[in-house]
A and B are shown apart, each in its own frame.
Chain A
Amino acid sequence: MELAAAKMIGAGIATLALAGIGIGLGNIFGSYLSGALRNPSAAPKQFTNLLIGFALTEATGLFALVIAFLILFT
């Protein structure tokens, strides 16, 4: 039973990575917006870069999810 409880706590701690992802995603979109407002004509060209950055950052957060699953189900 203690092992099960420890697993739950461990999985919960693994989701702490979300704090970093939150900062990262906010940073990406915030920087894009401030850049786009300063120079709107250059904004559409950077939209794909924005999406790549979003996907790469989001994936980092999902690695934490995988770790949480590994802790819970192994």
Chain B
Amino acid sequence: MRRAQLEETVAVAHSPIEQFEIKPLFQMEIAGFDASFTNSSLWMVIVVSFMSLFMVAGMRKSAAVPGRWQSAVEVLYEFVAGMIRDNVGREGKKYFPFIFTLFVFILGLNLAGMLPYSFTATSHIAVNFAMALFVFVGVTLIGFIKNGAGYLRLFAPSGVPLWLLPLIVLIEIISYCTRPISLAVRLFANMLAGHIMMKVFAGFIISLGAAGVAGMVGAVLPFGVTVLLTGLEILVACLQAYVFTILTCIYLNDAMHPGH
């Protein structure tokens, strides 16, 4: 009985989902809403200040022949600028600051989540959904301001036979409205699944290592897997930031040139 209880507490203490717990660092309440400064906010502040420092201090001298630091900043800039050029075109240049901020913010949060004892803010759907909703509302507004009612052409692709049109329009409208959900859940699920997987394999090392010498030898296997998973997760962190941004670019392109 006691042993079972003990095992249960151990299992709870090493639950792979524990890492996603939001802990308020100091309590705050604004107009009846819980607006505490949490560990999630703390990591966002850390990422934003680190990235701002990285950009501003890197470009402080802005030499014609860039040094190593300035090159790193310029590569990041050029990467996002190229993405907008290829996917949106010249008119997309106006929206560069927003998309660049989005990319750097998500990339920073994803990568900060890979540090030990850190917190992955993008593993919470509230954070992602806020960003995705911002993109969705912004893109819809831009589309209607640029094209007026012509933006509705987006829902009726050209070259579709007339009898199929009602069905296609319905499907297009549904897929348009699920954009913010899929955008948010994609990032959320990737971060959640990756971090749970890493915790589970790291837990195997501990439980095998506790089982004696033979267990310790066997623990080499999950240790190797954890190392590989860490690499995969860093790839996924960059990739998901890229995917979120490129989808934003594609949506923006739809708003600029509907009916293509």
Whether B190 and A59, one on each chain, are in contact in the complex, defined by CB atoms closer than 8 angstroms, is yes
How many residues of chain A have a CB within 8 Å of chain B? 11
A51 interface residue (CB < 8 Å to B): yes
For residue A51, give the distance in angstroms from its CB to the closest CB of chain B: 6
Whether A66 and B190, one on each chain, are in contact in the complex, defined by CB atoms closer than 8 angstroms, is no
Residue numbers in A under 8 Å from B193 (CB-CB): 62, 65
Residues in chain B within 8 A of chain A (CB atoms):
182, 185-186, 188-190, 192-193, 236, 239-240, 242-243, 246
A37 interface residue (CB < 8 Å to B): no
* Chain A-chain B contacts (Cβ-Cβ < 8 Å), number: 38
Residue numbers in A under 8 Å from B188 (CB-CB): 66
Contacts A62-B190, A62-B193 given; indicate if A55 touches B240 (C-beta within 8 A).
yes
1/0 per residue A6-36: CB within 8 Å of B? 0000000000000000000000000000000
For residue B41, give the distance in angstroms from its CB to the closest CB of chain A: 24
Residue numbers in A under 8 Å from B182 (CB-CB): 59
User: Could you tell me the distance between the alpha carbons of A62 and B246 in the complex, rounded to whole angstroms?
Assistant: 19
Residue numbers in B under 8 Å from A65 (CB-CB): 189, 192-193
Least CB separation from A54: chain B residue? B239
Residue numbers in A under 8 Å from B242 (CB-CB): 51-52, 55
User: Could you tell me the distance between the alpha carbons of A54 and B235 in the complex, rounded to whole angstroms?
Assistant: 12
Residue numbers in B under 8 Å from A63 (CB-CB): 185-186, 189
Q: Which of A54, A55, A56, A65 has the most CB of B within 10 A?
A: A55
1/0 per residue A41-73: CB within 8 Å of B? 000000000011011101100110110000000
Chain B interface, >50% SS class: helix
Whether A66 and B185, one on each chain, are in contact in the complex, defined by CB atoms closer than 8 angstroms, is yes
Whether A59 and B189, one on each chain, are in contact in the complex, defined by CB atoms closer than 8 angstroms, is yes
Q: Which 3 A-B pairs have the closest CB atoms?
A: A62-B189, A59-B186, A55-B243
Least CB separation from B244: chain A residue? A55
Contacts A51-B239, A52-B246 given; indicate if A58 touches B190 (C-beta within 8 A).
yes
What are 18 pairs between A and B in contact, CB < 8 Å? A51-B239, A51-B242, A52-B242, A54-B239, A55-B190, A55-B240, A55-B243, A56-B243, A58-B190, A59-B182, A59-B186, A59-B190, A59-B243, A62-B190, A63-B185, A63-B189, A65-B192, A66-B188
For residue B157, give the distance in angstroms from its CB to the closest CB of chain A: 20
User: Could you tell me the distance between the alpha carbons of A55 and B193 in the complex, rounded to whole angstroms?
Assistant: 13
Q: Which of A54, A59, A63 has the most CB of B within 10 A?
A: A59
Residue numbers in A under 8 Å from B240 (CB-CB): 55
User: Could you tell me the distance between the alpha carbons of A54 and B192 in the complex, rounded to whole angstroms?
Assistant: 17
For residue B90, give the distance in angstroms from its CB to the closest CB of chain A: 21
User: Could you tell me the distance between the alpha carbons of A66 and B187 in the complex, rounded to whole angstroms?
Assistant: 12
Residue numbers in B under 8 Å from A59 (CB-CB): 182, 185-186, 189-190, 243
- Give 20 new A-B contacts, CB below 8 A, not counting A52-B243, A59-B189, A59-B243: A51-B239, A51-B242, A52-B242, A52-B246, A54-B239, A55-B239, A55-B242, A55-B243, A56-B243, A59-B185, A62-B186, A62-B189, A62-B190, A62-B192, A62-B193, A63-B186, A65-B189, A65-B192, A65-B193, A66-B192
